[in-house]
Structure 1
Amino acid sequence: MLNPSNLVTPGLWVAAAAATRRVGSWVVFCLAWTFGLQNACASGPTPAPAAVKFHVFTSEDDGFFDNSVVVEGRAGLLLIDAQLTRSNALKVLDMIHKLDKELKLVYITHEHADHFLGLEVFKSAFPDVKIVANSNVADRIDGVYGEKLAKWQGLLGPKAATSRVEITRFDGDHLDFEDLKVELRTHLQGDTSENSYVWFPKERVAVVSDMAYDQMHAYTVETTKQSRSQWMRNLEELEKLKPEMVIPGHSQPHKVFDADSAIRFTKGYLAAFEEELASSKSRVDLKARMKRRYPDAELFFSVERTAADLFKD
């Protein structure tokens, strides 16, 4: 079974009704959330549909467990991050087509290839779509785009992206998407030194990309002790927003997102990593320690690469 899509409408929630249906090789989970303290299945007037819905697609067949988020407004769609592979981007596109609304805007959070290489799929399907990232992120992507296309074509063959897509540099602090307030929190240390996330203050939803992980080994390859401390502080600032839902960059399929699981997991992981690193004598030792600490977490390649960089044994 491949990649589910979680449909979540935020609010003061009492879990409501859930319906599952199979679409091709992936499963769509529809979760109804209500603005009140009664079960949505109870008798009484049906609540009016919320203005915003968040559809989350998690890649499952590429080993990255990437989340792309389709934000559904009243008339159009906003996509946050675009997948690594062409094949998974096509699955996101299939989800978009089923919503029967135009994709208006794509926002790329940072320069890692698993968040932007699938852009060609969306630009081809929606030629007028605006694709944006802040200038630093766009510059970094420009610097690696050709290299990443070649690398993943060699590894994935026909599943890989094949062409470069222009990204517009945008350095504002909010996105213009319908009448929604969509704030951008940029220039942040996460798993890279130039990360960002999207904050919906009215809905109290944070789409945080690789600022947070859930049940995944966090990507520490590009970090130092100092930058990991800054990452931790950025997560603490995120907590102060008091989000009702946080959607991380990587999580297990079928995940139902909540206010604090991803933040709590990532903070705990970063603290554990520092402890185990301080006690490790070799790359083998560090890998064994992190495996014992998080036996069921995915993305272990992050630990392997970090250990190889830190220890030369």
Structure 2
Amino acid sequence: MASDLHFHVHVAAPTLEVGTPPVPRGFPAVASPVSSTLIAGDHDAVLVDTPWSHEHMAALIDWVDSFDRNLTAVYITHGHGDHWFGTPALLEHHPNAKVYATADVSAYIARQHKHRGSMWESRFPGQICQGQINPEPVPDGGISLEGNALQVVELGHTDTDDTTGLWVPSIRLLVAGDSVYNHCHQYLNEAAHGGLESWYRALDIIQALDPVYVVAGHKDVAQPDDGGAVERTRKYLQTFEQLTREEGQTREEFFDEMIRLFPGYANPKALWRSIVSAVA
């Protein structure tokens, strides 16, 4: 008989970047807050995504251990390093946990590892966890947790290529990775050449599951993990897309309008970089 499952969310705090040009209106240049989700049964647990810095991982390991569960698996939703760089540190404390990802995500992880110096360590010197991971393919029936199947949902391009979510049907939970953001400015640097259309399709896939709970890959720690985050993500994308079509506005005016329309959203730096990528 399958155990009842519960989930818990840990959010790694934003981290200040080194040597990054300032963001308009005095906002700090930081990395977005990153969520990790522990899906727990009576005795075992599965973790989805890990953060990336030594400080983040010390806090996450203590948090995982506080639930007194046997960690059997770690699932990585996509290849961006801020969602997996810390996994080797976690495995030092939980060596029997298996690491899973899709084949496409595993290939992305290998590329990200190769370029971590230029892409990450230059902005966060001395902070990035080291070590490589080689995820296993997810079993055909999904990741098993005390009689419950945790199922991979292929989502395609969202804020990067080959993203996925992990669906827990028994509690109608989708751990969405970066396909969903929750009260946090979205990373749209990779949105050219049909990226937004693909992201809208991913959101359609998620909504068709009719989830009760959705954990966003980047979120404000104070926000609930509810299904409404999916539609809020869509609204943000649609608004950004609409503003890119407006003629005669400066990047700063674009930025100010998004800040006005989405007040209090975390990490305006991500918005500014998205605008620089989208507007000549």
Q: Distance in 2 between matches of 1:232 and 1:274?
A: 12
The answer as to whether partners of 1:153 and 1:162 remain within 8 angstroms in 2 is no
SS of the aligned residue for 2:177 comes to strand
- Post-superposition CA distance 1:57-116 (Å, at most 9, x none): 011242411110011112211010011212112211101111112211000000111101
SS of the aligned residue for 1:210 comes to helix
Runs of 4+ with deviation above 6 angstroms: none
Give the counterpart letter for 2:12 in structure 1: S
Bigger shift: residues 92-101 or 274-283: 274-283
Q: Which has the larger radius of gyration?
A: 1
The answer as to whether partners of 2:155 and 2:205 remain within 8 angstroms in 1 is no
SS of the aligned residue for 1:103 comes to strand
Structure in which a larger fraction of residues adopt strand: 1
SS of the aligned residue for 1:165 comes to coil
The answer as to whether partners of 1:216 and 1:251 remain within 8 angstroms in 2 is yes
The answer as to whether partners of 1:283 and 1:310 remain within 8 angstroms in 2 is no
Correspondence 1:52 to 2:15: no
Find the partner of 2:215 among 247, 250, 271: 247
Q: Whose relative contact order is higher, 1 or 2, with alpha carbons under 8 Å and at least 6 apart?
A: 2
Find the partner of 1:267 among 217, 230, 234: 234
Give the counterpart letter for 1:270 in structure 2: L
| Alpha carbons of structure 1 residues 233 and 152: separation in structure 2 relative to 1, 3 Å | closer
Alignment of 1:203-214 (within 5 A): 203-214=171-182
2:199 equivalent in structure 1: 231
Task: Provide structure 2 residue ranges, at least 5 long, that are not aligned to the other structure.
Answer: 16-30
Alignment of 1:1-313 (within 5 A): 51-62=4-15, 63-148=31-116, 151-170=119-138, 172=140, 174-224=142-192, 226-258=194-226, 260-281=227-248, 282-312=250-280
Q: Distance in 1 between matches of 2:142 and 2:8?
A: 20
Q: Distance in 2 between matches of 1:173 and 1:305?
A: 40
Give the counterpart letter for 2:6 in structure 1: K
Q: Distance in 1 between matches of 2:118 and 2:191?
A: 25
What percentage of aligned pairs have identical amino acids? 22
Give the counterpart letter for 1:250 in structure 2: H
TM-score by length of 1: 0.77
Give the counterpart letter for 1:276 in structure 2: L
Q: Distance in 1 between matches of 2:124 and 2:268?
A: 20
Give the counterpart letter for 1:104 in structure 2: T
TM-score by length of 2: 0.86
SS of the aligned residue for 1:218 comes to coil
| Alpha carbons of structure 1 residues 274 and 128: separation in structure 2 relative to 1, 3 Å | same
RMSD between aligned alpha carbons? 2.0
Bigger shift: residues 147-156 or 226-235: 147-156
